[in-house]
Structure 1
């Protein structure tokens, strides 16, 4: 069976698909992975056939306007202005992405397509070519449920103080907005290209209910129970972890030596989220680490903190394999991205989360409910003293570590990749 995997976004959006691809290959299937060009080396290093998608949209994250939009200290007007500017720059880039999706599917002609929602065009394009399609979700964002509100709207309290009606209503509202927006994008692109793609009337939720679009969710039931009001063809498989030599081989000697020399070691990484002033963020981290009396490994990511003069008790790295490092630290401090949350819980380590936007507040709240993280810190209120207090609290409260290890033991017995492959194989046979 030839499986085309298609994803778009940051490393957190790509790595689970690499893991799934490796699992499919190990089962004897052929795999083609379409993803942003910047991840070509990462994907081919894992012996996967790679097809590039334009980097243009994801490159907007490097734009200064993105930093303004995610800056917690910026005013609402400033954020809206920045978001408008980003949206203006994105015009036309969606067509380029859809062109690449069309080309990738047309050239590969796979037996089944597994696509990330950010490559929504794969659904109507795949159907145009008569290819079965499966949607792969890393977060529970498309299907309404009464269990929790949509992550794009306020949570009014435990389970939502307006109850299941409010939760389900928010999910339906956001779903309709997303489905309509994405459908219109594809329809306008198809009309301009005159390629015969028909997206009129396309409805993801109805397709899932009818069984023509299975949706697999790559997270653990130990973290989020599968809602009982979801359609039958919406499944929760467990996480898709990328295992390999990183678990036994340190990335480099300097990092290995630093880990061996320091006790009370924490990890700090915010991906692309440090905001409009990475220097101020770095200074805050240095003070917090000093006040808490710990040592830290700081992942600079895309955040602009590469050229900081760090003290000897802090080691800065561009990136580091979470599966190798997290079991060796005492606390994981991060922005609440789905992938980082998963890696921290798998390692049995407590988190301290500073959520910036998107799905991050949702995961931050969920990890707090599980008892593996204290109450999340709002970015606008983050300072060195507050972060130092949270670090000390987590280190001095054994329950956080015990709860994290309990969740890790449940995650360990799941086989998310095998479960996903079973769903994909079934979809391809229909």
Structure 2
């Protein structure tokens, strides 16, 4: 069958879908990935067909307003103003993204669509053409549960009757607001484009609840156990790791030599987070590494730290192969993004997490609960002394490493991609959607 995978966001949103695509190809299926244009080479290098989606929404991460909104020194009111300004710009770009998704599906004519929630337009567009659709989530965000609160909602702590009620009610509220927002965007787009898509009945929340929209979650039950109050069509497959690629091959000689010649080695990287003051951040990292008496590999990413003059016990790299590196370090220090958390857990290494926004605080609390990371550091309180102390604490507390290794063995027992393929195949075979559009 021809499977179309639609995803949007940063590398962490794209790489798991590439891994799933490779797994589908290995099973004899044809795969097309619809993703931001900037990932074209990455996707085609893995022998996947590619169709581009606009880069414009991702480019907002380079907007000064985005950096302002994520700056811990900015007041709550200042952050809200920046977020409002970004949201206003994003709304104007959503039509372009929906246009691209429509074009990809209309031209690709897939047998089944697997979509990331950030490409939510794939649901009504796929149904318009009578194509079965599966939602794939890297985080649990569309099905309320009593087991834990929705991301962004304060956690009441230990589970009890009151806590479970609170988790469910607040989860339903957030999901309804999210559902209404997405529905409004698609409805406005369909009216403006006059493309015949029926949007009045569009209700992602109801589809999730009724079972008409199968949902696969790409994380391990060992990390977040599947809630018993979820509907049967919502499954947890296990992680989708990308193996047998450049991500697993040895890196350049300078990095390899640094790893082999340094002990008490840690990794520090904040992924796609923009740097508000790269020099100050670099100075803080260098001081923390010095105080902790360790060496470090710093992934500069998009944070603006590429031109810093680092001391000899720190090696800065633009990107680094996580699967190759993480098993060779003692601690992974990061922002708490889903992809980095997964890579650290798989490697059996403890984390220190400084979460900035989005799903990062959720994963930071999760890893702390699992005993593989100390309490998250709030960005506003981050300084060299605090980071150095946490590094020393993790190195001197064997339980962090022991817990991480135990968890890694459980994750290794999963076959996330095979489980996901089974669910996708089942959805395609059981679909009885009428074709209301024209392919």
TM-score grouping bracket, smaller chain normalisation: over 0.9
Q: 2:372 aligns to what SS in structure 1? A: coil
Tell me how far 1:154 sits from its aligned partner: 1.3
> In 2, distance between residues paired with 1:161 and 1:82?
38
Cα deviation for residue 159 of structure 1 reads 3.4
Deviations 1:174-211 (A, max 9, x none): 10001110011000000000001112232223223333
In 1, distance between residues paired with 2:64 and 2:188?
29
In 2, Cα distance between the equivalents of 1:306 and 1:248?
23
Tell me the SS of whatever aligns to 1:298.
Answer: strand
Q: Describe the superposition over 1:230-276 as per-residue Cα deviations: whole angstroms up to 9, x where unpaired.
A: 01100000000001144653121111111111101000011132542
- SS of 1:57 mapped into structure 2: helix
Q: Counterpart of 1:280?
A: 280
Match of 1:386 in 2: 386
Aligned twin of 1:329 = 329
After superposing on structure 2, the runs of 4+ consecutive aligned residues of structure 1 that deviate more than 3 Å are 159-162, 245-248
* CA–CA separation in structure 2 for the residues paired with 1:378 and 1:192: 43
Is the counterpart of residue 235 in structure 1 residue 235 in structure 2?
yes
Query: For residue 371 of structure 2, what is the aligned residue in structure 1?
Result: 371
Q: Deviation string for 1:99-120 (max 9, x for gaps)?
A: 0000000000000000000000
Unaligned runs of 5+ in 1: none
TM-score, structure 1 normalization? 0.98
User: 1:190–1:196: 8 Å Cα contact kept in structure 2?
Assistant: yes
Matches within 5 A, 1:395-406: 395-406=395-406
Corresponding residue number in structure 2 for 1:39: 39
Q: Which residue number corresponds to residue 268 of structure 1?
A: 268
- Residue 418 of structure 2 corresponds to residue 418 of structure 1: yes
| Superimposed CA distance per residue, residues 334-356 of structure 1 (whole angstroms, 9 cap, x where no aligned partner) | 01011111100000000000111
Q: Which residue of 1 aligns with 2:347?
A: 347
**8 Å contact kept, 2:73–2:380:** yes
SS at match of 1:91: helix
Give the CA deviation at 1:156.
Answer: 2.3
Q: Is the 8 A contact 2:136 2:218 kept in 1?
A: yes
- Shift, 1:158, TM fit: 2.8
Question: Which has the higher mean CA deviation after the structures are superposed, 309-318 or 103-112?
Answer: 309-318
Q: Distance in 2 between matches of 1:390 and 1:81?
A: 33
Structure 2 residue 141 is the aligned partner of structure 1 residue 144: no
TM-superposition CA deviations, 1:33-63 (whole Å, max 9, x none)? 0000111111111111010000000110011
The number of residue pairs the alignment matches comes to: 430
Whether contact under 8 Å (1:156, 1:162) holds in the other structure is no
1:50-95 alpha-carbon deviations (Å, 9 max, x no partner) = 1000000011001111110001111111111111221222232000
- Distance in 2 between the 1:419 and 1:226 partners? 14
> Which segment is superposed worse, 317-326 or 109-118?
317-326
Q: Are the structure 2 counterparts of residues 157 and 274 from structure 1 closer, same or farther at C-alpha, using a change threshold of 3 Å? A: farther
**SS state of the match for residue 66, structure 2?**
helix
Task: Map Cα deviations across residues 359-390 of structure 1 (whole Å, 9 max, x no partner).
Answer: 11111111111110011111111100000000
SS of 2:69's equivalent in the other structure is: helix
Is the Cα contact below 8 Å between 1:141 and 1:150 reproduced in 2?
yes
Distance 1:103 1:420, change over 3 A: same
d(CA) in 2 for partners of 1:309 and 1:198?
Answer: 57
Range that drifts further, 80-89 or 38-47: 80-89
Deviates more, 1:119-128 or 1:42-51: 42-51
Partner of residue 104, structure 1: 104
3-state SS, counterpart of residue 144 of structure 1:
coil
Partners of 1:28 and 1:295 in 2: CA distance: 45
Per the alignment, residue 127 of structure 2 pairs with 127
In structure 2, what is the Cα distance between the partners aligned to 1:257 and 1:160? 52
Shift of 1:322: 0.7
- Structure 1 distance, partners of 2:192, 2:21, is 33
Q: Secondary structure at the match of 1:213?
A: coil
Look up the match of 2:295: 295
Give yes or no for contact 1:246–1:323 (8 Å, CA) kept in 2: no
User: Which residue of structure 1 lines up, in the alignment, with residue 184 of structure 2?
Assistant: 184
Structure 2 unpaired stretches of 5+: 431-439
